[in-house]
Amino acid sequence: MAEAGEVLALTGSAFFLTSTEQRAVAVGDPVQAGDTIDVPQEAKVRLRMNDGSILTVASGTRMTISKYDVDGAGNRQDAELAMSSGLLRAAVSAGGGTPNFEVKTATGVAAVRGTEWYVAAQGDTTQVYVLTGSVSLADSMDRNPVIIPSMAASSVDLHKGPTRLRPITPVELHALAERTAFYVGLCQCIETGKDVLARCRPTTEECQAYCGGGHYSFVPQAPESCGQR
């Protein structure tokens, strides 16, 4: 299988699953199309994909990288993830003229081109929360899509179409951020329509300066996530 990215940060113990083996995830490990990542409770995994996208896989999540095609220039051609349960935070780099990054669950299909968003799957419900950009959410047969704009949410149940759009509440936003937060010294800058940049900086102030006062996320400690390996 083609290499799709690498493990950028890890909290707790997580595993790569194949049809024949289970192996522990480690920072710096390559991630390949076809890999299933199992993240038990009390663990989190952050991936940096070859197109510049950053994926944070929260505790209690199982996700398969079904497809991740990137050309020689680092532009994403097509990406497809399958999530049976859990929560994913995706800061997706821009790429192509049509949505070419999909997350499929048991009840829905969410497609984007470049944006920052969350998708949560539990039982017969999939919920999508969009922070920046927009996401197309359809049922499991990829029908009846709705376009979810920035700071809005929708959900889709099994055998039903997506619900009406609604604003994301501050309580929801805080809970989602806490479930995917990494206390690992990572300075992440996200510029609308451009690739995600991940760099390590020693202080919050330097991270803010590095990102030019734009949207950023920084938490200290854990130097192993900062390339010191």
**CATH number for position 120:** 2.60.120.1440
Residue with tokens 């390996």: 229
- pLDDT for res 18: 79
Domain annotation covers residue 198: no
Helix (H) or strand (E) holding 173: helix 170-180
Domain annotation covers residue 127: yes
Domain annotation covers residue 42: yes
Q: Give residue 212's identity as a one-letter amino acid code.
A: G
Q: DSSP readout, 38-63?
A: EE-TT-EEEEEETTS-EEEE-TTEEE
- pLDDT for res 20: 79
Domain annotation covers residue 90: yes
- pLDDT for res 75: 82
pLDDT in tens, 84-118: 899 999 988 876 556 689 999 999 999 987 889 99
Domain annotation covers residue 73: yes
Domain annotation covers residue 149: yes
The domain tally of the chain equals 1
Domain annotation covers residue 123: yes
Angle (CA) 211 216 219, round 5°: 115
pTM of the predicted structure, to 2 decimals: 0.79
Give the C-alpha separation, 75 to 93, whole Å: 9
Domain annotation covers residue 154: yes
- pLDDT for res 27: 84
- pLDDT for res 12: 87
- pLDDT for res 207: 64
The residue range of the domain holding 101 is 3-181
Q: Which stretches in the chain have pLDDT values below 50?
A: 192-198, 201, 219-229
> Is residue 36 within 8 Å of residue 66, measured between CB atoms?
no
> Is residue 31 within 8 Å of residue 3, measured between CB atoms?
yes
